[in-house]
Amino acid sequence: MAHTAAMPPAGQARWLWLATTTAATACFLVLSAMPLRAQAAAAAPATAVSPYFFVKSDAPGLDRLPLKSTDVDVRISGVIADVTVVQHYRNEGQRPIEARYVFPGSTQAAVYGMNVRLGERLITAQIREKQQARIEYQAAQQAGKTAALLEQHQPNIFQMNVANILPGDDVRVELRYTELLVPQSGNYQFVFPTVVGPRYHSPQAQPAMPVVSQSFLHAGEPSATDFNLNVTLNAPVALREVHSPSHAVRVETQGEQQARVRMEQGHGTNNRDFILDYRLAGDRVESGVMLYRGKEENFFLAMVQPPKAVAASAISPRDYLFVVDISGSMHGFPLDTAKKMLAELIGGLRASDSFNVLLFSGSNRMLAPRSVPATRANIDRALATINQYQGSGGTELIPALKRIYAEPKPADVSRTVVVVTDGYVSVEREAFDLVRRNLSQANLFAFGIGSSVNRHLMEGLARAGMGEPFIITDPRQAPAQAARFRQMIESPVLTSVKARFEGLDVYDVEPAQLPDVLGERPVIVFGKWRAPASGPLAGQLTIEGQGAAGPYRQSLAIGPQVSQDTAALRQLWARHRIASLSDQESLEGNDQFSARITALGLQYSLLTPYTSFIAVDHVVRRPAGHSATPVDQPSPMPEGVSDQAIGAVLGAQVPSTPEPGTWAAMGLVASLLIMLERRSRRRRRNRQHFTA
């Protein structure tokens, strides 16, 4: 009787199916919540922090692509580059527009000037406190005046707004900046970034500066904007091996010490960084002092060649932790290149070293519970696992770094962290702070992989971790960069570095504390000097430190024979001081240095996070009642980066390989459903057997 009163077998099956499916779904949602949230953050075009795909509107009379060309003129004299960038806007529609364009810049650039040419009129921009510049721009915009506003969102991300471009208007905005070219192992490199890659913003993190909304073309879709770049190169000694690994160029030599570099016709591609490499005769690094005597202040720059590297046999064993980005923006060329580079890095470890690998996207996983010896078997096992991943999901860098620094480390072992990523995130300040706070645990080297890497993140991570950044824009560069890394980690050539001045009154020296010298990178010292009250200029700079072979000392004479007309030193010193204050601001996690950074920007007419350039035409050109339509100029997707970097195509999810956490959730659901199906089959067989 009790059996007949119970739920019928069919009812039991239905109830069991419903309960199991509900439980499986709950498990799936819990385990995949993090990746789903990460993907949603990148797939919501409506939010202000999300990149999105450009959709060309059919609105009549509206020009959606007002940026017609970018022309770059580069003049390199010795180790200083002076760059002029001209952005040419033209409204070919029938309605007034406001053009908004997000574009990259060099992380080392001191942006010191902006002009606007409107027809025959030249408008010189003024430097203003950031909020004041916005107020002036909005007032000009509402009054119907043509105006231009240049803002810095990150040291390598700028935004240009040009208001009231009337139909038929031809507007040219001219930017000027200078930067120092520091050689590495005798190789000089000039880089001009052309495109800002899409930035992933973690829902759990707050960016240091506002993240701008940015429009992108689909992967492989060419930009309608022309890009032209010319370089004039003047060196103190004979030039060698002038070439571009990124673009097709024509090099015209003018004697041994001068060259002109032009892009080949039709090869002005603006979906990857422009890179120019060159060397000097005999692989020289020009040690010496440059001076500038100004009206109110005098500046100096000293560059001193370090000693040679020590033998690898003298280096103690180390533990290496590789932090590898396998997110959606790494899909394809970046991750494929990263795999080749990791094969070189991990494969080149010594048998006495140990290592581990952490793979991260929206979630993360370690390949081994603890670091393992760098045996051939362990290396092959690690590389085989890495090769299984194709790239998908968000870029949760901060949780990955936190997990790495939480790894136990024996007190007698030196540890090096190696981060491999394209850097398409917006958590720079938080990352720098985290690395600095754990500097006693490990130093850090950063490898940026891709055609348009976030160099601000890569250089900042390496600077915070007392390491070095490496940028790989082409798979063919992987072996050379891996070899350079090995040479560098095997050669801490100078420690306890100090600069001492004799016979010269110097102050405001940058950096305040010189870092250890790795590899063959020169020691750089900026500062100000006071002219002697009487007599000629006479002094000496001495660099001292501890090398592998003992104490090291090198001196440079400073006298009247040194040229004193290098005006760029004024901006370069201020740019370096601003970078130092910004680093300290990031470390302490507040804006207490904003007033000092603002004052420097205003005094030296430099673009900073707190100062902007504003240019306003005095002529009212748009009649009242005729508003201008905002137009966001799209950027090309960086070469080698797929649409998965954004995660949405016209509002729909881009199919992608699920993240490791999502795979686990799917596997659990599948296991539960298989178990349920087997149980149902047994019940059916039992009923059939009972009936028979």
Task: Tell me the two tokens of residue 399.
Answer: 């949780």
Per residue, what are the HEC states of 30-90?
HHHHHHHHHHHHHCCCCCCCCEEECCCCCCCCCCCCCEEEEEEEEEEECCEEEEEEEEEEE
The average pLDDT across 404-431 equals 86
CA distances from 589 to 406, 521, 568, 632 (A): 21, 30, 31, 32
pLDDT at res. 673: 52
Q: How confident is the model at residue 203 (pLDDT cuts 50, 70, 90)?
A: low
Q: Nearest Cα to 39, choosing from 674, 666, 644? A: 644
Full domain range(s) for residue 25: 2-41+657-691
pLDDT at res. 283: 61
CA distances from 548 to 307, 319, 464, 488 (A): 10, 21, 24, 14
Say how many C-beta atoms besides its own lie within 10 A of residue 561's C-beta.
8
3-state secondary structure (DSSP) of residue 645: helix
Distance CA 30, CA 24 (A): 10
Tell me if 18 is assigned to some domain.
Answer: yes
Tell me if 36 is assigned to some domain.
Answer: yes
pLDDT tens across 368-408, in order?
999 999 999 999 999 998 888 888 888 899 999 999 999 98
Q: How confident is the model at residue 101 (pLDDT cuts 50, 70, 90)?
A: very high
By CB neighbour count within 10 A (0-12 exposed, 13-18 middle, 19+ buried), where does 581 fall? middle
Q: Using CA of residue 181, residue 182, residue 186, residue 189, what is the dihedral sign?
A: negative
Tell me if 229 is assigned to some domain.
Answer: no
- Segment of 5-14, 81-90, 521-530 carrying the highest mean pLDDT: 81-90
The average pLDDT across 625-633 equals 83
pLDDT greater than 70 at residue 204 = no
Strand partners, 100: 161, 632
Q: How confident is the model at residue 684 (pLDDT cuts 50, 70, 90)?
A: low
Which of 489, 524, 540 finishes a domain? 489
CA distances from 51 to 150, 222, 554 (A): 20, 18, 50
For residue 475, give the CATH number of its domain: 3.40.50.410
Helices 455-464 and 428-437 cross at an angle (nearest 10°) of 20
3-state secondary structure (DSSP) of residue 333: helix
Alpha helices in 319-407 (DSSP H): 333-347, 376-386, 397-405
Task: Tell me the two tokens of residue 689.
Answer: 């057997």
3-state secondary structure (DSSP) of residue 600: helix
Tell me if 527 is assigned to some domain.
Answer: no
Distance CA 178, CA 8 (A): 83
Tell me if 46 is assigned to some domain.
Answer: no
Helices 397-405 and 428-437 cross at an angle (nearest 10°) of 0
pLDDT tens across 25-63, in order?
554 444 444 333 333 333 333 333 567 788 776 678 888
Which of 439, 464, 489 finishes a domain? 489
The secondary structure element, H or E, covering residue 175 is strand 170-180
By CB neighbour count within 10 A (0-12 exposed, 13-18 middle, 19+ buried), where does 336 fall? middle
**Is omega for the bond preceding 8 within 30 degrees of 0, making it cis?**
no
Tell me if 686 is assigned to some domain.
Answer: yes
The DSSP line for 536-564 is ---EEEEEEEEETTEEEEEEEEESTTS--
Tell me if 393 is assigned to some domain.
Answer: yes
Q: How confident is the model at residue 304 (pLDDT cuts 50, 70, 90)?
A: confident
3-state secondary structure (DSSP) of residue 256: coil
pLDDT at res. 70: 94
Distance CA 197, CA 641 (A): 9
Instruction: Point out the least confidently predicted range of 120-134, 325-339, 519-533.
Output: 519-533
pLDDT at res. 120: 86
Q: What dihedral do alpha carbons 610, 613, 614, 615 form, nearest 10°?
A: 180
- In the DSSP assignment, the letter for residue 602 is H
Q: Structurally, how many domains does the chain consist of?
A: 2
CA-angle at 451, arms to 445 and 452, nearest 5°: 75
Tell me if 102 is assigned to some domain.
Answer: no
Which of 489, 522, 547 finishes a domain? 489
Q: How confident is the model at residue 641 (pLDDT cuts 50, 70, 90)?
A: confident
What residue type is assigned to position 1 of the chain?
M
pTM for this entry: 0.75
